[in-house]
């Protein structure tokens, strides 16, 4: 998340060049896919792209649109190549929650009918998540009703699903959209990827399921490491300059004491109010904060002041990123983040 964000605007994508490219590039891509039988997956960021590779293995071709820490999904401006990739995709994976709205613009512009997996919808914090879980439990239990018998009911469900889909891509007040830092959510995302890939290639469904199960085992090991931190440091206070790593912090049993107004201002690339900055600096000077976490992809004068105050007070500092570092897998990345948390708290 880079400061000085501006509202997302889908450019014309050089209409003439798009038409030219669409006439040849999309056709050749489709031909290649048909020739090798591989499933084309497009992910909004390389985080979800790597997870798709873990589940799909050699049976998928994955294109990740945002791959660099210099690119901010909130204000990312896609290219004609990105448009073609989305148009040709068999499956699209996005974060949702207002984080990567450019994907929705590309889907709409290209008229893609590929299924979309929205990771935010699998978060336990996502609005309506508990209601959705209750509905699934009821559907699986005794006395569950069958599919609607009247056309009107089915049409109503379609409209409701469409409304939920639209809601998933808007910024939701009070919801932390950085759900890839929640391993439990990502386990469910991997399961959904396996299910969708299995529907696209039924003969390989067992392979996808097995890959997702293996990935889940690694997630469980990762959660075990977070539980070890919690066993020793439950309740330890941390300050995060913006909410990117909050899910991981919570999973480790730590308490985020950052004023919401501070982290939200930094996330949106806005100035932090003087009173909020003073409150934040006071927290660091109080001696109760054990750790300060920054984001490698954001900065600003107020963040610099927080870093300087932490250094002056001898408070450990670590930095997390939003995109997958080069050469890392999702698991190795989160393991490194977990180890960094543990080392900083152990002193």
Question: Model confidence at 147, in pLDDT bands (50, 70, 90)?
Answer: very low
Question: Model confidence at 14, in pLDDT bands (50, 70, 90)?
Answer: very low
52 near 193, Cβ under 8 Å? yes
3-state secondary structure 155-221: HHHHHHHHHHHHHHCCCCCCCCCCHHHCHHHHHHHHHHHHHHHHHHCHHHHHHHHHHHHHHHHHHHH
Length of the chain: 347
Give me the CATH code for the 15-218 domain, please.
3.40.50.1980
Report domain 225-346's class: alpha beta
254 near 237, Cβ under 8 Å? yes
Q: Give the mean pLDDT of 172-182.
A: 89
Task: Give the C-alpha separation, 55 to 38, whole Å.
Answer: 13
Residue 136: its pLDDT value, please? 46
117 near 93, Cβ under 8 Å? yes
Task: Give the C-alpha separation, 333 to 155, whole Å.
Answer: 43
Residue 186: its pLDDT value, please? 98
Indicate if the pLDDT at residue 77 is higher than 80. Answer: yes
Q: State the maximum Cα–Cα separation within the chain, in Å, rounded to a whole number.
A: 68
Indicate if the pLDDT at residue 344 is higher than 80. Answer: yes
pLDDT digit string (tens) for 298-312?
778 999 999 999 999
- pTM of the full structure: 0.80
Residue 207: its pLDDT value, please? 98
Indicate if the pLDDT at residue 246 is higher than 90. Answer: yes
Task: Give the C-alpha separation, 246 to 235, whole Å.
Answer: 14
Residue 308: its pLDDT value, please? 97
DSSP string of 11-61, one letter each residue: ----HHHHHHHHHHHHHHHHHHHHHH-PEEEEEEEHHHHHHHHHHHGGGEE
The torsion region of residue 268 among left (phi > 0), alpha (psi -120 to 50) and beta comes to: alpha
Instruction: Provide CATH 3.40.50.1980 ranges for the chain.
Output: 15-218, 225-346
Residue 170: its pLDDT value, please? 57
Residue 198: its pLDDT value, please? 98
Residue 191: its pLDDT value, please? 98
Q: Give the mean pLDDT of 65-85.
A: 83
CB atoms within 10 A of CB 69: 16
Question: Model confidence at 142, in pLDDT bands (50, 70, 90)?
Answer: very low
3-state secondary structure 60-129: EEEEEEECCCCCCCCCCCCCHHHHHHHHHCCEEEECCCCCCCHHHHHHHHHCCCCEEEEHHHHCCCCCCH
Sheet holding 91-94, edge to edge: 60-66, 39-45, 91-94, 115-118
- Percent of all residues in the chain with a pLDDT value above 70, rounded to a whole number: 76
Question: Model confidence at 143, in pLDDT bands (50, 70, 90)?
Answer: very low
> Poorest-confidence range of 23-27, 84-88, 196-200, 296-300?
23-27
pLDDT digit string (tens) for 36-46?
789 999 999 99
Q: Give the mean pLDDT of 231-251.
A: 96
Nearby residues of 144 by Cβ (< 8 Å), 6 or more positions away: 138
Question: Model confidence at 71, in pLDDT bands (50, 70, 90)?
Answer: low
Task: Give the C-alpha separation, 307 to 304, whole Å.
Answer: 5
Hey, is 312 helix, strand or coil?
A: helix
> Poorest-confidence range of 130-139, 252-261, 306-315?
130-139
Tokens (6 digits) for 104 = 């929705």
Residue 130: its pLDDT value, please? 58
Nearby residues of 205 by Cβ (< 8 Å), 6 or more positions away: 194, 197, 198, 199
Q: Give the mean pLDDT of 5-27.
A: 36
Q: Give the mean pLDDT of 101-126.
A: 93
Task: Give the C-alpha separation, 5 to 69, whole Å.
Answer: 15
- Percent of all residues in the chain with a pLDDT value above 90, rounded to a whole number: 66
CB atoms within 10 A of CB 88: 23
Average per-residue pLDDT for the chain: 82
pLDDT digit string (tens) for 186-221?
999 999 999 999 999 999 999 999 999 999 999 999
Indicate if the pLDDT at residue 76 is higher than 80. Answer: no
Indicate if the pLDDT at residue 324 is higher than 60. Answer: yes
Question: Model confidence at 152, in pLDDT bands (50, 70, 90)?
Answer: very low
């Amino acid at each position: 998340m880079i400061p000085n964000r501006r509202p997302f605007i889908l450019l014309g994508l050089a209409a003439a060049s798009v038409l030219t490219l669409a006439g040849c590039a999309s056709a050749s891509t489709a031909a290649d896919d048909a020739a090798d039988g591989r499933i084309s997956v497009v992910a909004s960021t390389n985080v979800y792209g790597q997870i798709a590779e873990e589940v799909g293995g050699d049976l998928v071709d994955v294109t990740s649109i945002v791959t660099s820490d210099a690119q901010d999904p909130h204000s990312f401006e896609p290219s004609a190549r990105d448009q073609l990739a989305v148009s040709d995709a068999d499956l699209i994976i996005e974060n949702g929650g207002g984080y990567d709205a450019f994907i929705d613009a590309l889907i709409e512009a290209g008229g893609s009918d590929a299924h979309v997996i929205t990771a935010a919808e699998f978060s336990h914090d996502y609005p309506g998540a508990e209601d959705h879980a209750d509905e699934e439990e009821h559907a699986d239990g005794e006395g569950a009703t069958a599919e609607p018998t009247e056309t009107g009911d089915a049409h109503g469900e379609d409209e409701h699903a469409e409304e939920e889909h639209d809601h998933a891509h808007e910024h939701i007040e009070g919801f932390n959209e950085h759900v890839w830092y929640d391993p439990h959510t990502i386990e469910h995302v991997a399961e959904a990827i396996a299910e969708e890939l299995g529907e696209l290639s039924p003969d390989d469904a067992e392979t996808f399921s097995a890959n997702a199960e293996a990935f889940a085992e690694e997630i469980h090991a990762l959660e075990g490491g977070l539980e070890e931190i919690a066993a020793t440091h439950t309740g330890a206070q941390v300050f995060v300059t913006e909410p990117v790593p909050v899910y991981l912090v919570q999973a480790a049993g730590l308490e985020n004491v950052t004023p919401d107004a501070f982290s939200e201002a930094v996330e949106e690339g806005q100035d932090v109010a003087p009173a909020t900055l003073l409150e934040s600096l006071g927290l660091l000077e109080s001696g109760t904060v054990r750790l300060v976490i920054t984001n490698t992809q954001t900065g600003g004068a107020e963040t610099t002041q927080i870093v300087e105050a932490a250094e002056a007070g001898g408070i450990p500092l670590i930095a997390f990123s939003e995109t997958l570092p080069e050469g890392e897998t999702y698991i190795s990345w989160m393991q490194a983040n977990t180890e960094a948390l543990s080392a900083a708290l152990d002193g």
